[in-house]
Structure 1
């Protein structure tokens, strides 16, 4: 039989209302009384009735996250960081890998307090006329007519930083390996960002479309690039996973990084520093990105204010051992 507040009141020798206030950390209860009540509750194995509390507060203290992929390391790391922060804020998180509109409708039926939506391909973008009764923050690319508040990373600036770094080391033959996808606007921003940066540097634009974001997509694309008669002196990769495929292709060709080929990777995650050759990387640090997404959603849940609808984060470059002077 579950322990109730009345049981705690009886065991600690205080009133029912005092127990209720103490367990809700009310300033109306003396610290020594509060401590006694909490210790008694723990000793009896008391578990708060969240359903009852939710009925009173009209909050589930749960957020939903619409996640586009189960197999990409950078996204997995980001979701793990988000979950840690959500837990620290005394919320719960539910994941869905369904198409965005179906996932949102499901979360509405679960009565979540808010939703984080990772935009990706078409299946992870809400239809233009879609409406939801639940506050939504999306992680994607800011654009006119977007109906929901959005957290955006300046992907073009990230790739520009990569190009500038390589040019400063004397590289002129730089090749971009990533996905040219109009459906996934984040990837398309990187693709066009490379073109703009190279044009600004008055250098030839060389790109290879991976047609996917997995490590094997990066491996196949790198095989094509490294099989050419004239090799680039530097590569820029569109993601951590793509970089893993590139590193495998480089190793099979008996080339060395950075002695034979410099490499800069998009995605600013801790794993970059722990590879056999630590990768120079560009992007918003994963901790900052996760914190911004969660804080933005919780603020929206509390205020319902969408006036400041876009937060655009500036990328950083972390220079490590995978790049050198040409």
Structure 2
């Protein structure tokens, strides 16, 4: 027989309503009382009855997250950080790697309180007010129809080019990334790089714009090999992602090029793993822990305000200078 709130109340010597408040992390319960109730609940093996909770509070305290791919290190790191942040709150998370329509159907059946979407190849219309949701991706204009956390790729590219040009003296700068016309985040990086080069009055050699046609390590490896076949060689490269840049590093080393003496590299993304590579990688992007904290804070705010406000939260990228960049000789 399952343990009920009334069972916990009897053992803890408090009222049924006090147990209910404590399990829902109510500030109305004294900290010591709450701690005792939670200890009793754990010892008795209490499992929340989500259906009953839904009837009483109109909430399940569950957030759904639709994960576009399990293959990329950066997304894995971000999802792990989101999960860690959610564990600090009264909410739980369920994860789906199914296509968006299937995931949303599943989440509706579970009656989740809100959904986090990653803006990668989103090609469906979400029914207004059907379920509170938040998108992590690109705010294309001020007429956004949904709430979004934008990591500000354009500003990141500006800071990368500024560092390479204004501080290190590079003028021949290449960009290696995925030029997919269906992935808004990758398109924004390319657009941001071109805009940054123009901002600093730097010419863009078309040979120095290399499409990886993918976001994996091997895509970066092949792309840098193609770049080095051209008659001219850049003195610096901006990589479109952590995985791509890992392939770029390997390709450069195989060509016996010294980093950063012969060529510098700075990569988009900002995860701890970048400091632990064979050559610690200079990086630009919003730190992954900050992204996760803002995503979780925002979705809970949306859920608890019971209003899908098409707000835009633009983040501030940070530059991490490591051993992969050097000054022009």
- TM-score norm. by structure 2 comes to 0.89
Q: Check whether the contact 2:25–2:90 (CA below 8 A) recurs between aligned residues.
A: no
Moved more, 239-248 or 51-60: 51-60
Residues 119 and 125 in structure 1, CA contact (< 8 A), matched pair in contact too: no
Deviates more, 1:31-40 or 1:244-253: 31-40
CA distance in 2, matches of 1:27, 1:313: 31
For residues 23-53 of structure 1, give each alpha carbon's deviation from its aligned partner in whole angstroms, at most 9, with x where no partner exists.
Answer: 5566777777666555544443333433322
Alignment counterpart, residue 124 of structure 2, candidates 92, 115, 126: 126
Of residues 140, 143, 150 in structure 2, which corresponds to 1:152?
150
Structure 1 spans left out of the alignment, 5+ residues:
none
* Residues 244-259 of structure 1 mapped to structure 2, 5 A cutoff: 244-259=246-261
What residue is the counterpart of 1:162 in the other structure?
160
Q: Secondary structure at the match of 1:287?
A: helix
- May I ask how many residue pairs the two structures share in their alignment? 323
Alpha carbons 1:104, 1:132 under 8 Å: kept: no
Deviates more, 1:86-95 or 1:40-49: 40-49
Are 2:133 and 1:136 equivalent residues in the alignment?
yes
CA RMSD in angstroms, aligned pairs only: 2.4
| Residue matched to 1:111 | 111
Once the two structures are superposed, the pairs formed by residues 207-222 of structure 1 within 5 Å of their partners are 207-222=209-224
Q: Distance in 2 between matches of 1:130 and 1:6?
A: 40
Within the candidate set 309, 321, 324, 2:323 is matched to 321
1:1-12 aligned within 5 A: 1-12=1-12
Q: Output the TM-score relative to the length of structure 1.
A: 0.90
What is the rounded CA distance, in whole Å, between the counterparts of 2:32 and 2:136 in structure 1? 46
Alignment correspondent of 1:274: 276
5+ residue gaps, structure 2, are none
Tell me by how many angstroms 1:202 deviates: 2.5
2:84 is matched with 84
Q: Distance in 2 between matches of 1:140 and 1:26?
A: 33
1:187 corresponds to which residue? 186
